[in-house]
Amino acid sequence: MRESITLDSTRLQRLQQTPLWDFALALYAKPGVEAACLTLQEEAELDVCEVIFHCWLYTCGLEAEPAALARQREQRRRWQCHVTTVLRGLRRDLKASAASSESVARLRETIKQAELMAERENLQRWQAWVWEASSVDLPVRNITEMPLDSAKWLRKQLLYATTDPPASAALKSQTASLQALQTLTLQLDPHQGAR
């Protein structure tokens, strides 16, 4: 059944009652989600924060407006590139040294915490983008028809106006990436497989 394209204030209210960080922690703790997110990050070169953001919207029956999403995605990717990815690289570079040095292990743990804080900041910026938008220029809309295959819906959201051809190609073709999306969406909609 088709729903109105006009934004349903109940859906937006439900979204505002669930902070994105809290949603991310709960989703990440579900079986298979951590591995799925790492697969999407490593193999499809996707921003896991954006993936979780779309999952958050989906649970409230909302999706991002494509044009607004493209602008926001660019800002969030700059943050990931200049902050989070740098911290992740440092943490990974110190892994071997940390095995034989307690002081390097402590430094690596500090960097790991900074990386987590950078991810949290990115999620908070995604959330603010929706919560602080004017009622005239909202960056989200109702999902007009709830998808029968939520993994395909999520893939479509991640490919809206993507400017990164390698990630787009990886997401379209790699079996591991498609399975990772399926794992995520089954956690959002556990009845998905029964339809």
Residue 173 CB burial class (10 angstroms; 0-12, 13-18, ≥19): exposed
For the chain, the domain total comes to: 1
**pLDDT-derived band of residue 130, with 50, 70 and 90 as boundaries?**
very high
pTM of the entire predicted model: 0.84
- Specify the range with the lowest mean pLDDT, choosing from 17-31, 57-71, 73-87, 158-172: 158-172
State the pLDDT at residue 193: 40
Residue 34 resides in a domain? yes
Average pLDDT over the chain reads 86
Rounded-to-integer distance, Cα 67 and Cα 73, Å: 10
Cα end-to-end distance, the chain, whole Å: 16
In a domain, 104, yes or no: yes
Q: What pLDDT was estimated at residue 1? A: 35
Q: Report which of 140, 113, 115 is spatially closest to residue 41, judged by C-alpha positions.
A: 115
Q: For the segment 91-124, what is each residue's pLDDT rounded down to a tens digit?
A: 999 999 999 999 999 999 999 999 999 999 999 9
Least confident of 77-81, 102-106, 145-149, 185-189: 145-149
Could you give the angle at which helices 20-28 and 48-59 cross, rounded to 10 degrees?
Answer: 100
Q: Write out the residue range of the structural domain in which residue 98 sits.
A: 9-194
pLDDT, average across residues 138-142:
88
Asked, for residue 152, whether it belongs to a domain, the answer is yes
The reply to whether 110 falls in a domain is: yes
pLDDT digits (tens, 9 = 90+) for 45-84: 899 999 999 999 999 889 999 888 988 999 999 999 999 9
Does the residue 184 lie in any domain? yes
Structural domain contains residue 2: no
- On the question of pLDDT at 3 being above 80, the answer is no
Q: How does residue 129 score in pLDDT terms, banded at 50, 70 and 90?
A: very high
